[in-house]
Structure 1
Amino acid sequence: MNTAKDDVRQLLESLPEDCTMEDIQYHLYVVEKVQRGSQRAEAEGALSQQQVERKLAKWLER
C-alpha cells in the first residue's frame, strides 16, 4: 500500500513540467475524492450499473 507521500510523488511525476500550482491542487483534490468514494463504496456498498439505470429510468419517465 502506498503512503500519501508516495501517491503525491507519483502524481507529480505524471503531470507536465509546465503545470501550475492550481493544476497540482486540482489533481490532488480529485485523487482525494476518488479515494474517499472508493473507501465509502467498500464500506457501505454500491449500486450496480443495472440498479442505477432502473432508478434513473423511473425519474426520466415523468
Structure 2
Amino acid sequence: MITIKKEALEVISRLPDSANMDDIMYHLYVLDKIRKGQEAIKDGKIISVEELKKEMKSW
C-alpha cells in the first residue's frame, strides 16, 4: 500500500519545474479529496442518484 507521503511526492514530482506553491497546493488538495471520496465509498457513505435528485429539489 502506498503511503500518503509517497503519493504526495509522486504528484509533486509530476509537476513541471515552473510550478508555483499554488499549483502544488491545488494538486495536493485534489489528491486529498479523491482519497476522502474513495474512503467514503469503501465505508458505504454513498447515496443513489434518485436520493440526490430528491435532495436537490429541496435546494
Give the number of equivalent residue pairs.
Answer: 54
Structure 1 stretches of 5 or more lacking a match?
none
Gaps of 5+ in 2: none
| Correspondence for 1:22 | 22
Identity %: 30
CA distance in structure 2 between the aligned counterparts of 1:45 and 1:21, rounded to whole angstroms: 33
Larger CA Rg, structure 1 vs 2? 1
- The one-letter amino acid paired with 1:34 is I
Pairwise CA distance, 1:24: 0.3
What is the DSSP-based 3-state SS (H/G/I as helix, E as strand, rest coil) of the residue aligned with 2:46?
Answer: coil
TM-score (norm 2): 0.73
